[in-house]
Structure 1
Amino acid sequence: MENEIDTTKNTGKFLPGMVIVVVIVLILGVYWYFKKGDKDVRVETTEEAVEVLSQTPQVDIETNPVKNVPDINPVDKTNPFKTTNPFE
């Protein structure tokens, strides 16, 4: 029974220290994640600035949603027996 009491006392001593360590690690991880972002392109001369600013992004122009739709017209299929009379 004394061992159980000693264990709870020791856990109580280490818990605040562990919480502080975890918080510091999380803060450093978040800082490192956002610090690692893309770097800006540095421009030395005016000609380089014009060249960088004149570059246009590549845009996908192919945006026709009806291109691959099958040609189905319900009006053409109203009478399946157009040429033959099943009752003759």
Structure 2
Amino acid sequence: MNVVSNDDLFIPDIAVLKVSGGGRTAMGIGHAVLLGEIVSPGTRRRGVIDRPWEYAAAKVPFFLLGGGKHLRDAGAVRVLHRPRRTAR
């Protein structure tokens, strides 16, 4: 599922949305609960540096990063940000 944020189009490897895409090819980033990138040596900068900042700025609650040896552990998966609890 492609995700749109303002004028930016993102194509995450993994997308968990609040609602069904219903056959659409793109959804607004506000529907995203989790977006993930599976990185390889050729996509490392985008997946490890750029996407976490871009998705956090768009207030996506969870970002999942997966990859191989270049993330230290083969098959490593990491959640890089989570929503913060606010005092009531």
TM normalised by structure 2 equals: 0.17
Structure number with greater Rg is 1
More helix by share: 1
